[in-house]
């Protein structure tokens, strides 16, 4: 996987600072109903693996959004921080948090079958339906 070493970022107010040891270069859009409610539209995330360091961790609130994942946000400014898989600890971080995004590439969309009709991205991406996502990564019942 192409990745950046020690990617850095923060929430909107700066109460939570993030350092990621290895950040993927791939940005994905999630169109599931939960992400759309959470982000007010498609959620754009980047795989940051397991080694994520937080400064100001006391300012992170966790929402237990399903049996298999939880979402973190800044308790001070409300910035979406991450979607974390409970079983593995893998972090998918909000792409907009990072200071340097020049090497990031928007290349995939998930829950494409849940995307509302009122927008379309022009990028050519890999598109996965809800069923394909659960087949690849596991279901809520795993």
What CATH number is associated with residue 60?
A: 2.170.150.70
Q: What is the number of structural domains in the chain?
A: 1
Calpha distance 89→69 (Å, rounded): 9
Q: Each residue of 20-56: pLDDT tens digit?
A: 999 999 999 999 999 999 999 999 999 999 999 999 9
Calpha distance 7→98 (Å, rounded): 7
Per the structure, the complete domain to which residue 120 belongs is given by 3-137
Calpha distance 34→123 (Å, rounded): 23
Domain for residue 142, yes or no? Answer: no
**pTM, two decimal places:** 0.84
Domain for residue 14, yes or no? Answer: yes
Q: Each residue of 83-119: pLDDT tens digit?
A: 999 999 999 999 999 999 999 999 999 999 999 999 9
Domain for residue 8, yes or no? Answer: yes
H or E stretch at 37 = helix 33-39
Calpha distance 45→117 (Å, rounded): 21
């Amino acid at each position: 996987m192409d990745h950046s070493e020690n990617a850095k970022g923060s929430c909107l107010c700066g109460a939570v600072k993030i350092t990621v040891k290895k950040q993927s270069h791939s940005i994905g859009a999630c169109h599931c109903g939960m992400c759309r409610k959470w982000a007010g539209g498609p959620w754009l995330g980047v795989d940051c693996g397991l080694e994520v360091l937080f400064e100001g961790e006391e300012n992170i609130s966790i929402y237990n959004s399903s049996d298999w994942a939880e979402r973190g946000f800044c308790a001070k400014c409300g910035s979406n921080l991450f979607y974390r898989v409970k079983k593995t600890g893998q972090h998918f971080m909000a792409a907009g948090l990072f200071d340097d995004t020049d090497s990031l590439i928007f290349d995939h969309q998930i829950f494409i079958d849940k995307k509302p009709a009122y927008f379309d991205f022009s990028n050519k991406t890999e598109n996965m339906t809800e069923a394909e996502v659960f087949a690849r990564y596991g279901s809520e019942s795993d």
